[in-house]
Amino acid sequence: MITLNIKQRRSIYLGIIIICLLFLALSISGLFRFTTYAKREKNPTLKDVIDEDTRKKQKLSRASESENVSQEIFGLYLPSYDENGKVVSVIRGAYTVFLNNKTYIITKPEIEFAGESDNDSNDSNASQTKDIIITADTGEMDNATKSGVVYGNVISRLGEDLEIHTEDFTYSPEDNTVDTDGPATVLGKQMKVTGVGLEINLSEAKAVMKNDPEMEVTNNKNEMFLFSDEGTVTDKNIEELIFIRASGELVFEHKKSLATFYDNVRISRGKSTVFSDKLTIPFDSELESLEQVIASGNVLASDGEKNAKGETLTWDSEKEIAILEDDPVAEFFDDKITITAPTIMFSKVHGKMDVPVAGRLTTLVNLKSKKQDKEDTNEKTKVIFKPSDKKAVYDTITIDWNGRMVFKQDTNLAIFEEDVIVTKEGTKLYCERLEILFDSESDSLEELEATKDVYLIEKKDGEIREARGDKLIWAATRDYTELYGNNPLATVIDEDKQISAPKITFSEIENKMFAEGKGNLIAKTSSEEDDEETEFLEAENKTLTEEESDLTAKANSGKKAKKAENLVINWNKEMIYNGRDQVANFYETIKVIKGKNKLDCDRLDVFFDDQDKIEKATAFGNVYLNSPESDNTEGLGTLLEWDLIKDVAVLTGNPLAELRRDGQRTFSKKIYFDISTQRVHWEGKPHWKIY
C-alpha cells in the first residue's frame, strides 16, 4: 500500500503536470487571442535562422495552395504584450501563409509563453525563469472564429524538466477549450503520465485526461508505502516506480485545487498495490504540496501478505498517517491476524497502527510453540509445569474492545483499552487493559498480559473455572497461566474449591495449580452420610414404583444428618495442586479450619475424591489439633492423618503424641479422635499428667 509525504519534492510531480497543462492552454489561447494585438516587427526573424534552400522547400510544399494565398511570411515573429508592455508570449514560424483571407497556416510553429521565476526556492537552477515552449509540425487558425489546431509532433516544454507530447491540440473559442482525442504523454525527470484524449476547459480551469490515464513516478523513499517492502529490496535507496492507473478519467480542477482519477484505480509500487473506484488528490492553494490523498469506493490494499479493505483510505500528509474507514467496519488482515473497526490508522513513518474506536482482532495461536521459556521463569514453576510432548495445536483467539488499540512495530506490542474481551474456545477473559506481544519472526501471538479488573472464565468437560485478579499473563510458549492479585488477592474458583494468593499459576491442559505467597483454600469435604444415603436411595428406588420412589425420596430427605462442610486451609509460603493425582501440598505455617475444629502444622497434604472434594488430609511437623466441641480437646504431635469422610483423625508423636482435656495431659504413641462423636481413645500404654 502507498502513502504520500508532505515534502515538496515528493508531491510536486502531479502539480507540475497540471500547471504545465494550464500554461499550455493559456499559451494556445494566447496564440489565437493576442495575435490581433501583437506588434509586427519590420524585420521579423526566427530564433533559429532558416537558410534559403529550406524556405524554398517549405514554399514548394504549399505550391498547390499558392493561388489562394493572401499573404505569406518567412520567419514569422509575433510577440504579445500585457498592459505593462511586458512580453507574455511569442509566436514563431518558419513559413506562414494566409489562405483565402480566412485561415492562417504556420509551418514549424513555435509558441513561447513567458514563465515566472520561483523566488522562494533556495535552488539556483529552480529560481531561474521557466518558459513554456510549444512546438509542432504545423499550426492552423481560422481568422473568423479564432479556432485553431497545432498538429504533428506537438511538444510542450516546461523549462528543462517537463514535456507534454501529443499528436495535435485543437482550440475551440466557443467552448473555450483546448483538446486532443489522440494519445498524450507527460514526461518529467522522475515521472511519466500517459493517456488517450486530453481536454482543457479554460473557463472552468479544468483539465481532463479522458481515457486510461497512467502515471509513473520514480521514487526511492520507502516510507511512502504503508506496507513495508522489507525483504524485497536489499538496498533501500534503489529507485522503484510508483504506478497510478485508471480506466476512466484523470480530472484536474484548478478552482477546487483537486485532481481525481476515476474508475478501477490502481496504485502500485513493487508488491504493494491499492485498488479503488476513485483516487482524489487535494492540493494547497499554490499547488506546492499534497495535503491529502483519498482512495474511495471498494478500497483494497495489499502487498501480497498484508491486506486492507474499506470504503475510504486517506493519506494525511501533515500527520504522516493513512486512515482506513468503512461503515460498519474496515478490515486489515494477513494469514495470521484480522483487525476490524470503523477506523484503522497506519503510520509507517512512526511504525504504528492505531484504532481509536471499538474494534475486533482475530488471530491464530500456536498453543505448543517450540520456543524456550523465559530465563527469569521460576525454576519450581518449570518443574511443576513441565512442557508436554503434545504436537502443535492451533487455536483462534478473538479480542474485542470498546476504547482503542495501538500496535507499535519497534516493540511488536499491541495495547487494547476499555471493556476488553478475549475469547478462545471454552474461555473468556475480561479486563480494562490488555497487552499482546507478537513474535518478531512469525508475527504470531507470543504473550498476553491483562490488567485492571481481570476476570477469566473457562469451561471444559462440563466444569467451570473462574479467576479474578489485578493481572493475568498467558504465553503461547508455556502450558500455564499466571494470575496476580494484591488487594484483594488473586482468586481461582474450580467448582467446589476456591484458591486465593498473591500469585497463582494454573494449567488448563494438565489441571495443575501453583499458588505462591500467603494464601488460602476453601474446599468441600466428603462425608460418609452423603455416600451412604446416595447408595440407599438408589437401591430403594430400584424396587419402587415411580410414585412410591418420589414419596420415599421426600421422606428420606429429612433424614440427612450431615452435609459436606467447607475446609479452610491457610498457608504462608505456597500451595501445589495436582488434579491428575488428586492431591494438594501446602507449605509453612499451615492453619486449617473445619467448622469449629482447628489444625495447625508445618506442612499439609490433602487428597481429593472424584468429585473434587477433600476426603483425607495429612499434617506434618508441629501438629496441633483443637476441637472446642469435644470439651475443648487439644492434640499435639508430629503427624496427623485425618479421614474427612469418617471424620476420624489419628495423631502420632515422636516419641509420643499428647492429648489435653479437662485439665489432664495424656501421652501415647497414637491418639484417635472421633470428631463427629466427640470421642477420644489411644493406642499403646498411655500415661497421664494432671495439672
Tell me, yes or no, whether 375 lies in a domain: no
pLDDT in tens, 256-276: 888 899 999 999 888 889 999
Taking alpha carbons only, the member of 290, 273, 277, 208 closest to residue 246 is: 277
Give the DSSP H or E segment for 291: none
| 609 SS3 class | coil
Amino acid at 531: D
Tell me, yes or no, whether 348 lies in a domain: yes
Please answer whether residues 342 and 325 qualify as being in contact, where contact means their C-beta atoms are separated by less than 8 angstroms: yes
Domain total in the chain: 4
Task: Give the pLDDT confidence score for residue 480 in this predicted structure.
Answer: 84
pLDDT in tens, 552-573: 344 344 434 456 688 999 999 9
Question: Do both 14 and 74 map to the same domain?
Answer: yes
Q: Please tell me the distance from the alpha carbon of residue 32 to that of residue 342, in angstroms, as a whole number.
A: 54
Q: Please tell me the distance from the alpha carbon of residue 241 to that of residue 263, in angstroms, as a whole number.
A: 21
Question: Do both 249 and 349 map to the same domain?
Answer: yes
pLDDT at 536 over 60: no
pTM (2 decimals)? 0.76
Tell me, yes or no, whether 600 lies in a domain: yes
Task: Give the pLDDT confidence score for residue 360 in this predicted structure.
Answer: 97
First to last CA, the chain: 91
Q: Please tell me the distance from the alpha carbon of residue 320 to that of residue 176, in angstroms, as a whole number.
A: 40
Question: Do both 96 and 135 map to the same domain?
Answer: yes
Please answer whether residues 286 and 299 qualify as being in contact, where contact means their C-beta atoms are separated by less than 8 angstroms: no
pLDDT in tens, 578-634: 988 999 999 999 999 998 899 999 999 999 998 888 999 999 999 999 988 877 889
pLDDT at 19 over 90: no
Q: Please tell me the distance from the alpha carbon of residue 358 to that of residue 342, in angstroms, as a whole number.
A: 8
Q: Please tell me the distance from the alpha carbon of residue 112 to that of residue 134, in angstroms, as a whole number.
A: 6
Amino acid at 255: K
Among residues 299, 322, 357, the one where a domain terminates is 357
pLDDT in tens, 396-453: 899 999 999 999 988 999 999 999 999 998 899 999 999 999 887 777 788 899 999 9
Task: Give the pLDDT confidence score for residue 87 in this predicted structure.
Answer: 83
pLDDT in tens, 1-14: 333 333 333 333 44
pLDDT in tens, 496-505: 899 999 999 9
Q: Please tell me the distance from the alpha carbon of residue 540 to that of residue 535, in angstroms, as a whole number.
A: 9
Question: Do both 537 and 523 map to the same domain?
Answer: no
Task: Give the pLDDT confidence score for residue 282 in this predicted structure.
Answer: 82
Task: Report CA Rg, the chain.
Answer: 45
Residue 618's beta-bridge partner residues?
A: 641
Taking alpha carbons only, the member of 220, 219, 218, 217 closest to residue 237 is: 220
Please answer whether residues 477 and 439 qualify as being in contact, where contact means their C-beta atoms are separated by less than 8 angstroms: no
Q: Distances in Å between the alpha carbon of 126 and those of 118, 130, 393?
A: 7, 8, 63
Greatest alpha-carbon pair distance for the chain in Å reads 156
Question: Do both 17 and 131 map to the same domain?
Answer: yes
- Per-residue confidence band for 316, with pLDDT thresholds at 50, 70 and 90: confident
Please answer whether residues 197 and 210 qualify as being in contact, where contact means their C-beta atoms are separated by less than 8 angstroms: yes
Amino acid at 456: L
Question: Do both 538 and 676 map to the same domain?
Answer: no
Task: Give the pLDDT confidence score for residue 560 in this predicted structure.
Answer: 43
Question: Do both 631 and 503 map to the same domain?
Answer: no
Tell me, yes or no, whether 141 lies in a domain: yes
Task: Give the pLDDT confidence score for residue 310 in this predicted structure.
Answer: 97
Residue 50 C-alpha cell reads as 532558416
Whose grid coordinates read 506546492? 288
Query: E-strand spans in 52-176?
Result: 69-81, 87-99, 103-107, 110-113, 132-135, 138-142, 148-158, 162-172
CATH number at residue 297: 2.60.450.10
Tell me, yes or no, whether 376 lies in a domain: no
pLDDT, averaged across the chain: 78
Phi, psi angles (nearest 5°) of residue 490: -65, 140
Give the DSSP H or E segment for 258: strand 258-269
Angle CA 278–280–283, to nearest 5: 170
Question: Do both 657 and 615 map to the same domain?
Answer: yes
Tell me, yes or no, whether 2 lies in a domain: no
Q: Please tell me the distance from the alpha carbon of residue 444 to that of residue 367, in angstroms, as a whole number.
A: 11
Residue 140: exposed, middle, or buried by beta-carbon count in 10 A (0-12, 13-18, 19+)? middle
| 68 SS3 class | helix
Question: In which domain, by residue range, is 654 found?
Answer: 517-527+564-691
Please answer whether residues 134 and 152 qualify as being in contact, where contact means their C-beta atoms are separated by less than 8 angstroms: no
Task: Give the pLDDT confidence score for residue 496 in this predicted structure.
Answer: 82
pLDDT in tens, 659-669: 888 778 888 88
Tell me, yes or no, whether 436 lies in a domain: yes
Task: Give the pLDDT confidence score for residue 546 in this predicted structure.
Answer: 46
Residue 20 C-alpha cell reads as 504545465
Question: Do both 278 and 345 map to the same domain?
Answer: yes
Task: Give the pLDDT confidence score for residue 685 in this predicted structure.
Answer: 66
Question: Do both 106 and 212 map to the same domain?
Answer: yes
Tell me, yes or no, whether 393 lies in a domain: yes
Inter-helix orientation angle 546-556/528-541, to 10°: 160
Give the DSSP H or E segment for 569: strand 566-571
Give the DSSP H or E segment for 278: strand 272-282
Task: Give the pLDDT confidence score for residue 686 in this predicted structure.
Answer: 64
pLDDT in tens, 40-57: 344 443 344 345 555 555
Residue 285's beta-bridge partner residues?
A: none
Q: Which residue has the higher pLDDT, 48 or 140?
A: 140
Q: Please tell me the distance from the alpha carbon of residue 626 to that of residue 634, in angstroms, as a whole number.
A: 4
Question: Do both 543 and 557 map to the same domain?
Answer: yes
Question: Do both 17 and 28 map to the same domain?
Answer: yes
What is the DSSP secondary structure assignment for residue 559, as one 8-state letter?
G
**Please, what sign has the CA dihedral across residues 464, 470, 476, 481?**
negative
Q: Distances in Å between the alpha carbon of 157 and those of 80, 110, 117, 165, 169?
A: 19, 11, 16, 9, 14
pLDDT at 530 over 70: no
pLDDT at 181 over 70: yes
Task: Give the pLDDT confidence score for residue 539 in this predicted structure.
Answer: 43
Task: Give the pLDDT confidence score for residue 434 in this predicted structure.
Answer: 97
